[in-house]
């Protein structure tokens, strides 16, 4: 599939969803491409011990300086290491990102839903063109990521009683289940259930990586395909800290520090290219640009860079003491979303996420991710005193519009599924930020270089030719009541089509 190498060159910064799409498309077009990734590679080891596990978190779960845990409320300190989860602690929110070759796909729950048109269009500008995405780019993204629904034989396994029980709960609510795809190799989940592979997906343990290899992370899909073109070179443990215009010619010079496993800078390397594609994730892509603007290195960048950060309308809740059996362990990744379009604050969605509690605690509670629409947006700004970017999300618990809408939905859910049947002590929602739930943190930090604002609708960063954004920073803070990775992939595919058609 590789085109013949041309004299043109590109640099991609980051190997998450956007970066992987860019790398493959550039490689296929014959453009010599260098990909900088700050984290390490995570090949699946035959001994089943590639990643840390939920019950035994260790340094492999935490990017340098972060504690190991799904959120800070439950995290433990570990020695510095290039682990897979990066906790960006902001003012008013914690945003969690993946780190390593594959980015967020190493840690993601593998949920790959398509948003409904009406939810997408409440957030995105009309020019984002949902019909085109639906026609061309969502199908392509699905095919490339290799996604599929939870198969019926796995659903009927005893360890998936939780997913089946969830269907009964939502039936009591009076809603229809919406089924969607997951980026999972179900044959390897079957092997987990037979005991021939270490358990991960089948016990809901996906957040630190999946030791059986059942997660179809980007290092198993887009990235090897990009390397096979012969035109793409991925450089792990290379953290970019500077982007500037090339002196005499069009294009850019990018500088990265090469890290060792203790976080020490071994050396710095500089590379030049005709085109740069930013894909370091919403916070870190924005950080690179707000720094370059503040230090006068790229002074023509839009003043709107740093605006529009959102947590995708996420609100994490638990239902404790469920009436149905959710199993001693909860087979994952999760199941079926419901929508309620009849809430006073506008539509909301809720999905079941398997929780990797050690057996037999799976019966004690379930975790549910709620998503609502909200106009609340934060910012990513450069702090001259620390010379770092700061995330600010100024919506305290209690006064936040997002919390109000989500709590109203969660309370209605409890009433309609339990209280009205005489079971108020079952399915009790717990959503306090104090214990890391509600909107205390998000796995879906988006925005910062938003389409139609700091970037054109084609992904070109305003102020500089040949500088593009292809990751979650391009998205206006939310994708519309679903998890965002498939939408980021689809938008990146479209950006690359347009780039290759015109340049």
Judged by the rule CB under 6 A, the positions of this chain that interact with ligand FAD are: 13-19, 36-39, 96-100, 103-105, 107-112, 207, 239-240, 279-282, 284, 443-444, 471-472, 483-485, 488
What beta strand segments (E) does 291-425 contain? 307-309, 314-320, 334-340, 348-353, 365-372, 378-383, 388-392
| Least CB distance to ligand FAD at residue 101 (A) | 7
Tokens of 326: 């959710």
In angstroms, the CA 209 to CA 218 distance is 12
| Least CB distance to ligand FAD at residue 430 (A) | 20
| Least CB distance to ligand FAD at residue 358 (A) | 19
Question: For ligand FAD, which is the closer residue by CB, 34 or 207?
Answer: 207
Question: For ligand FAD, which is the closer residue by CB, 23 or 96?
Answer: 96
In angstroms, the CA 436 to CA 433 distance is 5
| Least CB distance to ligand FAD at residue 24 (A) | 13
Question: For ligand FAD, which is the closer residue by CB, 308 or 472?
Answer: 472
| Least CB distance to ligand FAD at residue 204 (A) | 12
| Least CB distance to ligand FAD at residue 409 (A) | 20
Tokens of 432: 């306090």
Question: For ligand FAD, which is the closer residue by CB, 117 or 168?
Answer: 117
Q: Return the SS3 of 138.
A: helix
CA–centroid distance for 102 within its chain: 11
Question: For ligand FAD, which is the closer residue by CB, 426 or 483?
Answer: 483
- Report which secondary-structure segment, H or E, holds 23: helix 17-28
What beta strand segments (E) does 14-125 contain? 32-36, 85-89, 94-98, 111-112
- Contact between 238 and 221 under an 8 Å Cβ cutoff? The reply is no
Question: For ligand FAD, which is the closer residue by CB, 39 or 477?
Answer: 39
Strand order in the sheet with 388-392: 307-309, 378-383, 388-392
CB burial of residue 209 (10 Å; 0-12, 13-18, 19+): buried
| Least CB distance to ligand FAD at residue 372 (A) | 17
Question: For ligand FAD, which is the closer residue by CB, 44 or 280?
Answer: 280
């Amino acid at each position: 599939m590789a085109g013949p190498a041309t004299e043109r060159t590109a640099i991609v910064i980051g190997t998450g969803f956007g970066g992987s799409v860019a790398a493959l498309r550039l490689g296929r077009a014959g453009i010599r491409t260098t990909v900088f990734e700050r984290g390490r590679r995570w090949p699946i080891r035959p001994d089943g011990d590639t990643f840390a596990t939920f019950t035994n978190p260790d340094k492999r779960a935490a990017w340098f300086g972060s504690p190991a845990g799904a959120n800070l409320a439950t995290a433990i300190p570990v020695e510095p290491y290039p682990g897979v989860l990066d906790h960006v602690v902001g003012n008013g929110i914690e945003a969690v990102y993946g780190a390593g070759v594959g980015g967020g796909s190493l840690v993601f729950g593998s949920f790959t839903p398509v948003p409904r048109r009406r939810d997408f269009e409440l957030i995105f500008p009309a020019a984002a063109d949902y019909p085109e995405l639906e026609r061309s780019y969502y199908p392509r993204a699905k095919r490339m990521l290799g996604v599929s629904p939870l198969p019926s034989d796995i659903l009927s396994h005893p360890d998936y009683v939780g997913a089946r029980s969830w269907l009964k709960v939502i039936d009591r609510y009076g809603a229809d289940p919406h089924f969607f795809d997951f980026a999972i190799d179900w044959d390897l989940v079957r092997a987990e259930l037979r005991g021939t592979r270490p358990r991960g997906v089948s016990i809901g343990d996906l957040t630190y990586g999946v030791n059986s290899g059942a997660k179809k992370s980007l290092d198993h899909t887009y990235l090897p395909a990009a390397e096979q073109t012969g035109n793409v070179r991925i450089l792990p443990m290379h953290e970019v800290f500077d982007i500037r215009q090339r002196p005499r010619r069009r294009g850019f010079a990018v500088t990265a520090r090469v890290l060792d496993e203790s976080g020490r800078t071994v050396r710095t390397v500089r590379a030049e290219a005709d085109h740069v594609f930013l894909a370091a994730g919403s916070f870190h892509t924005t950080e690179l640009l707000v720094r370059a603007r503040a230090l006068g290195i790229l002074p023509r960048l839009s003043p709107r860079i740093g605006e529009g950060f959102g947590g995708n309308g996420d609100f994490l809740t638990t239902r404790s003491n469920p009436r149905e059996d959710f199993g001693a362990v909860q087979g994952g990744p999760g199941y079926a979303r419901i929508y309620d379009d009849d809430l006073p604050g506008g539509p909301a969605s809720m999905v079941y996420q398997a929780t990797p509690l050690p057996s037999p605690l799976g019966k004690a509670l379930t975790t549910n991710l709620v998503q609502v629409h909200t106009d609340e947006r934060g910012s990513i700004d450069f702090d001259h005193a620390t010379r770092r970017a700061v995330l600010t999300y100024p919506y305290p618990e209690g006064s936040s519009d997002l919390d109000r809408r989500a709590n109203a939905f969660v309370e209605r859910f409890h009433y309609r599924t339990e209280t009205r049947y005489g079971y108020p002590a079952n399915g009790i929602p717990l959503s306090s930020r104090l214990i890391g739930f509600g909107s205390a943190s998000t796995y879906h930090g988006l925005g910062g270089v938003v389409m139609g604002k700091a970037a054109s609708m084609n992904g070109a960063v305003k102020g500089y030719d040949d500088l593009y954004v292809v990751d979650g920073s391009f998205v206006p803070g939310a994708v519309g009541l679903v998890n965002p990775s498939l939408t980021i992939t689809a938008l990146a595919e479209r950006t690359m089509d347009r780039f290759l058609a015109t340049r």
